Amino acid sequence: MHFPTVFAAAAAVATAQAELIGFNYGSTFTDGSAKAQSDFEAEFERAQALPGTDGEFTSARLYTMIQGGTTDTPISAIPAAIDTQTSLLLGLWASAGQADFTNEITALTSAITQYGSDFTSLIVGISVGSEDLYRNSPTGIAADSGAGADPATLVDYINQVRSAISGTSASSSSIGHVDTWTAWVNGTNDAVIEAVDWLGMDAYPYFQNTISNGISVANATFFEAYDNTVGVASGKDVWVTETGWPVSGPQENDATASVANAETYWQQTGCSLFGKINTFWYILEDALPTTPSPSFGIIGSDLSSAPLYNLTCSNAALGSTASSSASSSKTSSAISTASSATKPASASGTNTESLSAAAPGPETSPVSASISQTTAASVASRVASSAASQGSSGVASQSGSPSASTMTSAAVTSSVVVAGGYTSTTYQTTLITITSCSAGCTSSETSVAGASENATSAVAPTSTASPSSASVGTAAPSPATSSATTAAAASSSASVTFCDANLNGEYQYPHLIVPVNSAEPDTAYGTQYNGTITPTTSTIFNFDLPSSYAGKTCSLVFLFPEQAALETSAFTFNGQGGISVNELSSPATQETTYDSVPSVAVSAIGTLASVSPGNSYVVASHECNAGATQAFEFVSTGGLSLEYFEDWNPSPIGAFITVC
């Protein structure tokens, strides 16, 4: 599967016409007690009265049609929405089996009968399910996220809802499904894409803890996920049904939960979405009565208190200017008019009252119990939801890897690059270049105190793929710290530029990491976090190279720090052998097996005769194949057996492409 790069996202953003702006609303509080109509009303009124938002949070996404504590009574968010003129993205819980799904449909049709067009005129969409496919995926299962549903079941349920609403005043409602972006890009789920009118995408860069996921790259990471989803959506609308950044909670790789970062994410990502793409933020309030960890609420536990951070968009995305685009929206303009009429009545007093009135007994049905659990746990489930596929993912199971406290020795590693067998660059740490030897370092130059072993990599000088010296020389000036230009290779008169074997400059991480196993030639393992290179298992890495790399040099590098330099990653290595790397003619997919590996385009484009921890290697280097997806297969030689968790922080480990 090809994953378009983030660079296509801007276009997708620019062309989108939709503009629902709202929050997600669970059916229960954090103690599992059901929200009453007055609770929903208080929340909807507060959303419309948030300072800095110009009253534009007029839409609510629900997870279930069923009122907490009942079997199939319509959720009281419906009359609350009617009273506050809040538009509704309805949700039917789809992971509890047919009997419970039938109750969801009963609640939907009962509500249509009971409230009529007052209700149906507010419906902006109906989601059949929420993250059901994710919960059924390996990462969802590993994260203990609860029961899911398979694609065929969801398609069946979608058809059931279509027939349930036909002939009613809700018959024109568009039907979608909400899932993590990783579930959408999984081709096995394509039948769901075919069955829906629109795709609801949940994405949380905070949880993508196997890649660089600090707040500084969060916006780009989010839009990459969005763009990946748009890329598989068959032209259907992609709605952002959940995203947000926690105000408190645990560190996830380099993502810090904080009010300041939540504000930055709102400002960068939220304000890029609001008014352009249907967006349901996670979340208005999630801390009543107890604060979950992480907590995403933009308001603390007191609904009437001020937001925790400044919600005003500096790009004026929320405001009269931006909302003039409302005319193109499928949301009825009557709703926005009505809601702006209710907006000034901000509800400090009433909110307090209604909240204190909300102390329902714990009389929850099994269904509502499972929903409340999911709603509360849905955030936790995202630990793996974000990015499992494409190697860019957050994975819960990894958080228990080597303990950070025992592995915080900084700057211990030395790295030696011997590129092309002719040029060496020495690094004192994996991140700082201290030596550059343009004509080939002597062994004493390549040896650095602290290095456990010397690296000797015999790298094929990228024979066929190497650009002419002229094109390299002009197009790719080496940065001062770079390993510089090699001397002419014996087999080629071309001079080849190598980019740094570190991630200080521009780089790409693999978007798909797919092992293939000669002992299980029919097995498709799908994308993984680990690179596995053993005598029977090779790993294919797909890289998506943006078209903006045209004319630049790309170096495939293999970074192998010492264990002591790793905090969130680990490797197991038998200390013998090397790695041979083939460039493949086409990318791997989630379905690639040993028997279906794409043909080899360049055999042994790079060969590392031996590898050892504490070293970084340039495997191959040539002019960037800009705009292409390139796949490289790492094959064990000489009995090498290496498994590692591809990671970025604090010391990168694994296959990357550096750009210069």
Positions touching ligand NAG (CB under 6 A) are 9-10, 13, 133, 136-138, 150-151, 186, 188-189, 219, 223, 268, 272, 310, 312, 314, 388-389, 443-444, 447, 453-454, 526, 530, 570-572, 590, 643-645
What is the signed CA dihedral for 622, 608, 652, 379, rounded to 10 degrees? 90
Pairing verdict, β 553-560 and 654-659: antiparallel
Minimum CB distance to ligand NAG, residue 60 (Å): 25
Question: Is it true that the peptide bond before 294 is cis, omega within 30 degrees of 0?
Answer: yes
Minimum CB distance to ligand NAG, residue 623 (Å): 26
User: CA–CA separation, 198 vs 177, rounded Å?
Assistant: 7
Q: Of the candidates 449, 447, 410, 446, which has an alpha carbon nearest to the alpha carbon of residue 430?
A: 410
Minimum CB distance to ligand NAG, residue 658 (Å): 22
Identity of the residue, 22 or 319, whose beta carbon is nearer to ligand NAG in the bound complex: 319
Give 172's contacts (C-beta < 8 A, 6+ positions apart).
Answer: none
Identity of the residue, 388 or 484, whose beta carbon is nearer to ligand NAG in the bound complex: 388
Q: Tokens standing for 314?
A: 């500096």
Identity of the residue, 10 or 600, whose beta carbon is nearer to ligand NAG in the bound complex: 10
Question: Helices in 489-540 by DSSP H: which ranges?
Answer: none
Which helix (H) or strand (E) is 77 found in, with range? helix 77-84
Minimum CB distance to ligand NAG, residue 312 (Å): 4
Q: Is 470 left (phi over 0), alpha (psi -120 to 50) or beta?
A: alpha
Pairing verdict, β 512-517 and 423-427: unpaired
Minimum CB distance to ligand NAG, residue 549 (Å): 17
User: CA–CA separation, 283 vs 429, rounded Å?
Assistant: 41
Q: Tokens standing for 382?
A: 């995202």
Cross-strand partners of 555? 621, 658
Q: Of the candidates 31, 100, 92, which has an alpha carbon nearest to the alpha carbon of residue 71?
A: 100
User: Which residues are tagged catalytic?
Assistant: 131, 242
Identity of the residue, 107 or 238, whose beta carbon is nearer to ligand NAG in the bound complex: 238
Identity of the residue, 72 or 227, whose beta carbon is nearer to ligand NAG in the bound complex: 227
Q: Where are the beta strands (DSSP E) in 501-588?
A: 507-508, 512-517, 530-533, 537-544, 553-560, 571-573, 578-584
Q: Answer yes or no: are the C-beta atoms of 394 and 385 closer than 8 Å.
A: yes
Q: Answer yes or no: are the C-beta atoms of 145 and 375 closer than 8 Å.
A: no
Q: Tokens standing for 429?
A: 């740490």
Identity of the residue, 29 or 509, whose beta carbon is nearer to ligand NAG in the bound complex: 509
Identity of the residue, 83 or 445, whose beta carbon is nearer to ligand NAG in the bound complex: 445
Give 110's contacts (C-beta < 8 A, 6+ positions apart).
Answer: 72, 73, 74
Identity of the residue, 13 or 465, whose beta carbon is nearer to ligand NAG in the bound complex: 13
Minimum CB distance to ligand NAG, residue 590 (Å): 6
Total residue count of the chain as it appears in this document:
660
User: CA–CA separation, 476 vs 270, rounded Å?
Assistant: 36
Cross-strand partners of 621? 555
Question: Is it true that the peptide bond before 151 is cis, omega within 30 degrees of 0?
Answer: no
Minimum CB distance to ligand NAG, residue 148 (Å): 8
Q: Answer yes or no: are the C-beta atoms of 564 and 409 closer than 8 Å.
A: yes
Minimum CB distance to ligand NAG, residue 219 (Å): 4
User: CA–CA separation, 587 vs 554, rounded Å?
Assistant: 17
User: CA–CA separation, 446 vs 467, rounded Å?
Assistant: 27
Q: Tokens standing for 562?
A: 């010492």
**Burial status of residue 628 (CB atoms within 10 A of its CB: 0-12, 13-18, 19 or more):** middle
Which helix (H) or strand (E) is 157 found in, with range? helix 151-165
Side-chain-facing half-sphere of 254: CA atoms under 13 Å: 14
Task: For residue 583, report the phi and psi dihedrals to the nearest 5 degrees.
Answer: -90, 130
User: CA–CA separation, 176 vs 603, rounded Å?
Assistant: 45
Give 589's contacts (C-beta < 8 A, 6+ positions apart).
Answer: 1, 187, 512, 514
Pairing verdict, β 59-62 and 21-25: parallel
Minimum CB distance to ligand NAG, residue 209 (Å): 14
Minimum CB distance to ligand NAG, residue 295 (Å): 22
Minimum CB distance to ligand NAG, residue 338 (Å): 27
Minimum CB distance to ligand NAG, residue 311 (Å): 8
Identity of the residue, 173 or 530, whose beta carbon is nearer to ligand NAG in the bound complex: 530
**Burial status of residue 199 (CB atoms within 10 A of its CB: 0-12, 13-18, 19 or more):** buried
Q: Tokens standing for 657?
A: 């492409």
